Amino acid sequence: MVTAQEHLLSLYQQVRSTTIGLTDGLTAEDMLLQSMEDASPAKWHLGHTTWFFEALVLDAYQPGYQRFNDQFHYLFNSYYESLGQRHPRPHRGMLSRPSLEQVMKFRLHVDEAMLSLLQSKELPNECWQRLELGLHHEMQHQELLITDQLHAFSFHHFHPIWKTLLHQPPVTSEAAPHSWVAQAGGLVPVGLSAERRIGDFAYDCETPIHQQYLRPYCLASRPVTNGEWLEFMTDGGYRDPQWWLSDGWACVNREGWQAPLYWQNKDDEWFRYTPHGLLPLDPDESVCHVSYFEADAYARWAGARLPTEFEWEVAARNYPIEGRCMEQGLWFPGKPLPGSDTALQHLYGNVWEWTQSPYLAFPGFEPLQGALGEYNGKFMCGQFVLKGGAFTSPEQLLRASYRNFFYPHQRWQATGVRLARYE
């Protein structure tokens, strides 16, 4: 039987090689691009995920470990105030040095030291916990690498192809109108226990278990599609302030939004930009790259609302992952599957689904000790929870309790919409 430690050793090798594989097709010049403050260059992602293991595992648990380059501790720290000063986030695209070659040598140096460390039988449980957190952290950055690079490429006039489509997506029937799937509600436990075993990973923000009361409610059987979003646009959805929160309406006018991010209209035909180039807009695919403000406005226009994170979590617990994830290599949303009117589709994968829940601490929440306490807790202000995962998400990340979070104006992530209403 494979032990938890042996599993993590194998997972380490898998995750680290997967990250490098995501950069296939990118040049050194591509990997230096930073298109906005919210995004980071691919080269920085490679360095930062390596820095995490050096600063939080090797420095603590490998006696005599020699850092690859002390300057990298400053360059690749993200937001850990307790670990020292760091390079300003808005200027990560200015780091032409170290070269990509040096960053790759940094990864190799740390990987060799990590693999040597992990073969030890005397490591404390805390070390294995940090390793597991680091692996899930790198999987999060795999998703960010894809979305950040896509945003950078979207400014290129000729819509560069980053990934060749190795196979076409399966042919499915056109999306049927969604049905409403009733949920009983009641007083229900949500979240996870703070006591976690190695191999049964969850972030601290998913804990602890606590009770929530839910009124009986319904969720739409599938996410909103591009075709449905076009109806919203045709009906003047981006021009009518009655559907919008005040901050959302100000954002629409300030940014000039008229459609989801990456949509382009050419000769009255809609296209959307993807890592596979500019593709015709498929009306049956799930709409993607919309902000919380847009999702909320659409829900109001449709006579519905966004679900709470607890409604979503309770409804999703017994469903398998059937949506499109990162590993499938089709980096755009999939289509709803033909299915029963009483079942929920594509809860996991496909597109992240906005909820109306602010990203806040659960009752009794306690952040991790030390520097790792900065991982989640200090961001619990002004952001909204997303659930489910997307075509950019590694499948191993996804579970009903997972809490992704972004600011309401942000839309460069693979974010979509599932409607809700009270029964």
267: left (phi over 0), alpha (psi -120 to 50) or beta: left
Same-domain status, 110 and 229: no
**HEC readout, 281-343:** CCCCCECCCCCHHHHHHHHHHCCCECCCHHHHHHHHCCCCCCCCCHHHCCCCCCCCCCCCCCC
CA distance 192 to 196: 9
Q: Is residue 124 a contact partner of residue 8, using CB atoms and an 8 Å limit?
A: no
Chunked into runs of 10 residues, the chain (423 residues) has average pLDDT values of 84 97 97 98 98 97 95 96 94 97 98 93 89 97 98 97 78 75 97 86 95 98 96 98 98 98 96 96 96 98 98 96 92 81 90 98 92 89 98 96 98 98 95
The CA distance from 102 to 81, in Å, is: 25
d(CA 192, CA 200): 11
Q: Is residue 204 located within the same domain as residue 318?
A: yes
At residue 165, the pLDDT reads: 82
* pTM for the model: 0.96
Look-up of token digits 């919210």 = 38
Q: What is the pLDDT of residue 353?
A: 98
Task: Check residue 373 and give its pLDDT.
Answer: 85
161 within a domain of the structure (yes/no):
no
CATH number reported for the structural domain that contains residue 224 in this entry: 3.90.1580.10
Q: Is residue 174 part of a domain?
A: no
Number of folded domains that form the chain? 2
Q: Residues 87, 145: one domain?
A: yes
DSSP 173-209: PPPPPP-EEEE--EEEEES--S---TTS---GGG---
Residue span of the structural domain in which 299 resides = 180-422
Q: Quick check: is 158 in a domain? A: no
Q: Say yes or no: 288 and 410 in one domain.
A: yes
Question: Taking the chain, what is the end-to-end CA distance rounded to the nearest angstrom?
Answer: 47
Dist CA 232 CA 229 (whole Å) = 5
CB hemisphere CA count around 265 (13 angstroms): 7
Tokens of 251: 């954002």
> Is 27 in the same domain as 136?
yes
d(CA 147, CA 136): 17
Q: Are residues 208 and 334 in the same domain?
A: yes
Q: From 153, 188, 215, give the residue that closes a domain.
A: 153
Same domain for 185 and 138? no
The pair of three-digit structure tokens given for residue 402, joined into one six-digit string: 């997972």
Strands 186-190 and 210-214: antiparallel
Specify if 159 maps to a domain: no
- Would you say 226 and 353 are in contact if contact means Cβ atoms under 8 Å apart? no
Task: Check which CATH number belongs to the domain holding 105 and give it.
Answer: 1.20.120
Q: Kindly state whether residues 297 and 340 are assigned to the same domain.
A: yes
pLDDT of residue 170: 60
What phi and psi, each to the nearest 5 degrees, are found at residue 211? -95, 140
Q: Is 162 part of a structural domain of the chain?
A: no
Q: How far is 264 from 278, CA to CA, in rounded Å?
A: 9
Clarify whether residues 216 and 101 are in a common domain.
no
pLDDT in the model for residue 340: 64
One domain, residues 262 and 401:
yes
Residues in the chain: 423
Residue 160 belongs to some domain of the structure: no
Mark whether 202 and 338 lie in a shared domain: yes
Is residue 164 situated within a structural domain? no
* C-alpha distance from residue 368 to each of 89, 264, 304 (Å): 24, 44, 38
* Domain end position, chosen among 138, 153, 168: 153
Q: Which residues contact 123 (CB under 8 A, 6 or more apart)?
A: 5, 61, 117
φ, ψ for residue 18 (rounded to 5)? -65, -40
Tell me if 168 is assigned to some domain. Answer: no
Q: Do 380 and 262 share a structural domain?
A: yes
